[in-house]
């Protein structure tokens, strides 16, 4: 249900809501929030709630350090795991500068602009996701370990699969929040799980994905476990990806064209750093994750699979991982396809064999290479603000160089990513 401001205020008043979490994401996709009391909500809608952006690296060292959060009433969700007396609700927010203009790094606003661009062309997009993650044990002091919760395999069942109750908690919690998982199961790796989602418009799909990650970590913790979305948390085990399913419609008919697919492929290398933002992301490539720029109908190792169903054509992009900022990732993917349509790009033949895939262009093989490709990309600068691109890529190059200077890549990953991704 999409609420209006007045409906949100009425809901808060009538449903014993005591805390309102104003949530937002930095440019790296990390969710942050400020909690306010019900009496402050009207002011939040009217003038915003300010915070010190200089204390967050992901706000780009912005010169206007006093940014403000303006809650989006359509995103109201009750947090089911919090007490029913003195409820807690969450609202995603738009981020604005002191002069009222949108913050350049507000991914929600950038993705909303992409939706508007689609609308002007008579197009609507639907996004579905399939996300993998690991469940690890905690030690006696409650600290996360790298010990998998179980040693089950793909589609195994209890008692080998010990994660079914956690997945149940995740799915039921999401349903209470109005988010619809479509399937869940144990994945290939020990302690690895996967949950699929029904499709939704891009902005809603990105909001839902951020909510999903929060719910997974919360439900894991409530079960005495630790959830990790690292692309490759365990050496020599299965990697975790975020498969993105895209469909387009125009006038109720399928609108995924060869040029749209060609556009996504054409810009795949340039946008990789936004889809795969960690040094650890590139350890996943070559371990079941596609790193060749190819497409197919059936080959599971291709970067992009095209699925023809009675309901239309769906494009399944298989390279992203869950460490990405979903707002920026979807913004770039959709604009890449739109660029292909605008330029009438021809689509290369499908790569249904490993030999054909092997002859394809490669994605960047390191975070530094991916960041440099994005920094040099004229296309990305037409989609994202130049200041955002420069800051983001500089941070990622520095991240790569810090990893290289570390005692080991494994030690760097443990210190930089394990507890936060």
Percent of the chain with pLDDT over 90: 88
Rounded average pLDDT over 387-415: 95
pLDDT value for 84: 87
CA angle 294, 299, 305 (to 5 degrees): 60
Q: How far apart, in whole angstroms, are the C-alpha atoms of residue 385 and residue 389?
A: 6
Could you tell me which CATH class the domain 112-418 is placed in? alpha beta
CB 184 within 8 A of CB 195: yes
The CATH number, out of the four listed (3.10.20.70, 2.30.110.10, 3.30.360.10, 2.40.30.10), of the domain defined by the range 16-103: 3.10.20.70
258-266 vs 326-343: helix crossing angle, rounded to 10: 120
Rounded average pLDDT over 387-414: 95
pLDDT of 63 above 80: no
pLDDT value for 178: 95
Mean pLDDT of the chain: 95
Going by C-alpha positions, the residue among 385, 363, 336, 350 that lies closest to residue 125 is 336
DSSP state of 347: P
Going by C-alpha positions, the residue among 41, 42, 43, 3 that lies closest to residue 21 is 41
Pairing of strands 87-96, 17-25: parallel
Residues 200-241 have pLDDT tens digits of 999 999 999 999 999 999 999 999 999 999 999 999 999 999
DSSP one-letter string for 142-169:
S-EEEEES----TT--TTT---HHHHHH
Domain residue ranges in the chain: 16-103, 112-418
Residues 246-263 have pLDDT tens digits of 999 999 899 999 999 999
The strand ranges marked E within 265-361 are 295-296, 304-309, 312-317
DSSP state of 255: -
Q: How far apart, in whole angstroms, are the C-alpha atoms of residue 9 and residue 17?
A: 10
Provide the β-strand partners of residue 256.
none
Q: How far apart, in whole angstroms, are the C-alpha atoms of residue 315 and residue 417?
A: 30
Percent of the chain with pLDDT over 70: 99
pLDDT of 62 above 80: no
pLDDT of 288 above 80: no
- Token representation of residue 362: 């490669």
pLDDT of 65 above 80: no
Q: How many CB atoms lie within 10 A of CB 400?
A: 21
pLDDT value for 121: 96
Q: How many CB atoms lie within 10 A of CB 253?
A: 8
pLDDT of 80 above 70: yes
- Token representation of residue 206: 């990105």
CB 111 within 8 A of CB 42: no
CB 177 within 8 A of CB 165: no
Residues 109-123 have pLDDT tens digits of 999 999 999 999 999
Q: How far apart, in whole angstroms, are the C-alpha atoms of residue 188 and residue 191?
A: 9
Residues 6+ apart with CB under 8 A from 227: 133, 134, 135, 136, 216, 217, 219, 220, 221
Q: How far apart, in whole angstroms, are the C-alpha atoms of residue 210 and residue 100?
A: 25
pLDDT value for 353: 86
Residues 318-346 have pLDDT tens digits of 999 999 999 999 999 999 999 999 999 99
- Position with higher pLDDT, 62 vs 250: 250
Rounded average pLDDT over 66-70: 94
164-176 vs 202-222: helix crossing angle, rounded to 10: 130
Q: How many CB atoms lie within 10 A of CB 358?
A: 12
User: Which position has the token pair 């205020």?
Assistant: 9
Pairing of strands 49-52, 66-71: antiparallel
Q: How far apart, in whole angstroms, are the C-alpha atoms of residue 47 and residue 59?
A: 20
Residues 31-50 have pLDDT tens digits of 999 999 999 999 999 999 99
Q: How far apart, in whole angstroms, are the C-alpha atoms of residue 408 and residue 101?
A: 43
pLDDT of 172 above 90: yes
DSSP one-letter string for 394-414:
HHHHHHHHHHHHSS-HHHHHI
pLDDT band at 359 (very low <50, low <70, confident <90, very high): confident
């Amino acid at each position: 249900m999409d609420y209006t401001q007045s409906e949100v205020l009425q809901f808060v008043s009538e449903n014993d809501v005591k805390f309102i979490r104003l949530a937002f994401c930095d440019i790296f996709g990390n969710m942050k929030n400020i909690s306010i009391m019900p009496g402050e909500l009207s002011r939040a809608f009217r003038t915003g709630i300010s915070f010190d952006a200089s204390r967050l690296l992901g706000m780009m060292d912005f010169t206007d350090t006093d940014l403000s959060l303006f809650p989006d009433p359509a995103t109201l969700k009750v947090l089911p795991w919090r007490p029913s007396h003195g409820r807690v609700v969450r609202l995603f927010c738009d981020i604005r500068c002191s002069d009222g203009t949108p913050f350049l790094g507000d991914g929600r606003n950038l993705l909303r602009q992409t939706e508007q661009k689609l609308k002007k062309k008579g197009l609507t997009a639907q996004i579905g996701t399939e996300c993998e993650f690991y469940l690890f044990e905690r030690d006696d002091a409650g600290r996360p370990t790298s010990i998998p919760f179980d040693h089950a395999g793909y589609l195994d069942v209890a008692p080998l699969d010990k994660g079914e109750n956690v997945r149940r908690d995740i799915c039921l919690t999401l349903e209470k929040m109005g988010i619809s998982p479509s399937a869940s199961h144990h994945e290939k790796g020990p302690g690895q799980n996967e949950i699929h989602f029904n499709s939704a418009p891009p902005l809603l799909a990105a909001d839902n994905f951020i909510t999903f990650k929060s719910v997974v970590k919360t439900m894991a913790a409530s079960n005495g476990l630790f959830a990790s979305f690292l692309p490759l948390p365990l050496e020599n085990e299965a990697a975790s990806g975020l498969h993105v399913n895209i469909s387009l419609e125009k006038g109720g008919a399928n609108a995924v064209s060869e040029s749209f697919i060609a556009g996504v492929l054409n810009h795949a290398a340039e946008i990789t750093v936004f889809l795969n933002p960690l040094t650890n992301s590139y350890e996943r490539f070559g371990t079941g994750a596609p790193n060749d720029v190819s497409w197919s109908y059936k080959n599971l190792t291709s970067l992009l699979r095209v699925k023809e169903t009675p309901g239309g054509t769906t494009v399944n992009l298989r390279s992203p991982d869950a460490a990405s900022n979903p707002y920026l990732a979807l913004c770039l993917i959709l604009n890449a396809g739109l660029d292909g349509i605008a330029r009438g790009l021809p689509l290369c033949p499908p790569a249904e064999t490993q030999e054909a895939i092997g002859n394809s262009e490669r994605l960047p093989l390191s975070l530094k290479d991916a960041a440099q490709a994005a920094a040099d990309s004229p296309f990305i600068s037409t989609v994202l603000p130049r200041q955002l691109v420069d800051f983001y890529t500089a941070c990622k190059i520095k991240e790569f160089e810090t990893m290289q200077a570390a005692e080991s890549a494994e030690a760097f990953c443990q210190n930089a990513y394990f507890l936060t991704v």
